[in-house]
Amino acid sequence: MRIGILDIDTKKEKMGHGKHEKFPNLACGKIFGYHMERGDEIVYPWKGERVDKLYISTIFSWSRQALERQMPYFKSRADEVVVGGTGADWRSKLPPEMENIGHQWTYDLYDIDYGIGFTIRGCHVGCSFCVVPRKEGLREYRVATVGELVNPRSNHLVLLNNNSLADIGFFEDVEEIRERGLTVNWNQANDITLVTDRHAEALASVKYYNFAKTSRMLHFSWDQMIKRKIDPATGQRVEYVMSKTVPEQIARLKAHGIPPHHLTFYMLIGFDTTLEEDMHRFRTLRELGCEVYAMQFRDLNGKNGVDGKGNPQLPHVRHLKKWVNGRGFKACSFEEFRPYMDEIERREKDQREQAAQTALDLFAV
Ligand code: SF4
C-alpha cells in the first residue's frame, strides 16, 4: 500500500533541527510508524504524488478553510483521504493501534536529535479559551514516562505537557530527568499558581532550557487578571488575583535559585482584558525581569479578531502583540508605536466623518 502523509501546518523550526526542519507532528509520527510496521510504502513529505491513502493532519483551526478549499485536489490524488488533528476537529483521536506506536518513529520521520512528547495529558484548570480540557479532560493523567520519550541520539527532551506542574507525575519526571542527566524544555506554559517551595526546588534542580537548548528558560502564563479554578487537592473553587500571585511566585522561584530572566510568560490578549490590564501585566513582568510573549486570542473555531464574547477585539490588541513580540518596546512606548497611532487616528477620523454625516442627515430632514 502506498501511503501519503501531509502535516499541513507544521511550523518550521527557527533553529532548524532535523532533516525537515519542522516541529514534529506526533500524530504523523505515529501514523508513519504504524504503516512502516506493516511494510507499506510511505511518501513523506507528500507533494501531490498518487497514493492509495492520504493522511492530512492539521494542528491549527485557522487551516481548516484552506484545507476544505483544497479537498477536491487531495481527493483526486488518493483513493482515500483521512483528515485529523485538533485543527480539523478537536475531538479527533488516533485509533488505539496507532496511538500506542512507539515515539522512535516520530524521531525517525522528522530525523530529529531530541526526544519529544507528553508524559501527562489533560488539565484541571479549565480555562474557557482553551481546547485542552475539552479534548483531553479536566484532570491530568499519565501517558508515558520520561524514559519512554528519550531519543537515543541525545540527552535533550522537549515535554509538551499542558500542565506539567500538576501533582500527577511532575516530581517523578524531575527525578528521572535528573537521574538520566537530561536537559529539558517544558514547552508549554505552566500554571504559576501551582508553584510551591517543593516545585521551585525541583525545577531548580534540573537543567531546563528553551526548545533549541540555546538559553535557560521556563514558561509560565498570565492570561487573565483573576484566575479561577477548582483546586485539584481540595475540590474547592479557588480564585487568584494574579497581579498579587504572579510577583509572589516569581519571588518564590528566585528564592530557590531561578532568576526572573529565565522566565518567559505567555500573556493572552484580546480575550477579556483591557489595554490598561494588558499594559499592567506587561510592565509588571518586565519590571520584575521576565520575558513576555503576547498571544492574541482566537476562538475555538480559529476565528481571529473577536474577543471571548464574540465581539470585535479592542483596537490595541494586534498592535500590542507586534510591539511586545517584535520588541518594539525597546524603541518607543506603546502610545508612540506608529501602527497603533495610525489606527487610533484612522478611527478618530472615521468617527468625525460619521458625526458630520449624521449632522448633515439631520439638517436635510
Ligand atoms: S491552564 Fe493552560 S492547558 Fe490548562 S486549561 Fe488553562 S490554558 Fe489550557
What pLDDT, in 10s, does the model give residues 288-302? Answer: 999 999 999 998 877
Distances (CA, A) of 19 to 13, 77, 113, 132: 11, 25, 10, 30
Ligand 1 atom with least separation from CA of 129? 7
Whether residue 130 has its Cβ less than 6 Å from ligand 1: yes
Q: Cα(251) to centroid of ligand 1, in Å?
A: 23
> Which residues neighbour 285 within 8 Å (Cβ) at sequence distance 6 or greater?
222, 246, 265, 267, 291, 292
Whether residue 184 has its Cβ less than 6 Å from ligand 1: no
Whether residue 133 has its Cβ less than 6 Å from ligand 1: yes
Average pLDDT over residues 85-98: 84
Whether residue 232 has its Cβ less than 6 Å from ligand 1: no
Q: Which of 118, 130, 140, 224 to mutate to test the pocket of ligand 1 (most atoms within 8 A of CB)?
A: 130
**Among 82-96, 109-123, 306-320, whose mean pLDDT is lowest?**
82-96
Whether residue 188 is predicted with pLDDT greater than 90 in this model: the reply is yes
Q: Cα(219) to centroid of ligand 1, in Å?
A: 13
Residue 329 lies in a domain: no
What pLDDT, in 10s, does the model give residues 331-365? Answer: 999 999 999 999 999 988 988 988 888 888 887 76
Residue 23 lies in a domain: yes
Place of cell 513576555: 292
∠ CA 123-126-132 to the nearest 5 degrees? 55
Q: Is 272 exposed, middle or buried (0-12, 13-18, 19+ CB in 10 A)?
A: middle
Whether residue 187 is predicted with pLDDT greater than 60 in this model: the reply is yes
Residue 75 lies in a domain: yes
Q: Cα(130) to centroid of ligand 1, in Å?
A: 6
Q: Which of 118, 123, 269 to mutate to test the pocket of ligand 1 (most atoms within 8 A of CB)?
A: 123
How many domains does the chain contain in total? Answer: 1
Residue 237 lies in a domain: no
Average pLDDT, the chain: 92
Residue 311 lies in a domain: no
Whether residue 211 is predicted with pLDDT greater than 70 in this model: the reply is yes
Whether residue 216 is predicted with pLDDT greater than 60 in this model: the reply is yes
Q: Is there a contact between 174 and 207 (Cβ–Cβ < 8 Å)?
A: no
Residue nearest to atom 6 of ligand 1 (CA): 127
Whether residue 191 has its Cβ less than 6 Å from ligand 1: yes
What pLDDT, in 10s, does the model give residues 8-53? Answer: 877 666 555 555 556 889 999 999 999 999 999 999 999 999 999 9
Residue 127 lies in a domain: no
Range of the domain at 69: 1-103
Residue nearest to atom 1 of ligand 1 (CA): 125
Q: Cα(152) to centroid of ligand 1, in Å?
A: 31
- All 3 cell numbers of residue 22? 519542522
Place of cell 520520561: 146
Q: Which of 132, 134, 138, 224 to mutate to test the pocket of ligand 1 (most atoms within 8 A of CB)?
A: 132
**Among 88-97, 254-263, 330-339, whose mean pLDDT is lowest?**
88-97
> Which residues neighbour 362 within 8 Å (Cβ) at sequence distance 6 or greater?
none
What's the pLDDT at 18?
56
What's the pLDDT at 13?
60
Question: Using CA atoms, how far apart are residues 208 and 2, in angstroms rounded to an integer?
Answer: 41
Residue 277 lies in a domain: no
What pLDDT, in 10s, does the model give residues 137-146? Answer: 888 999 999 9
What's the pLDDT at 234?
84
Residue 161 lies in a domain: no
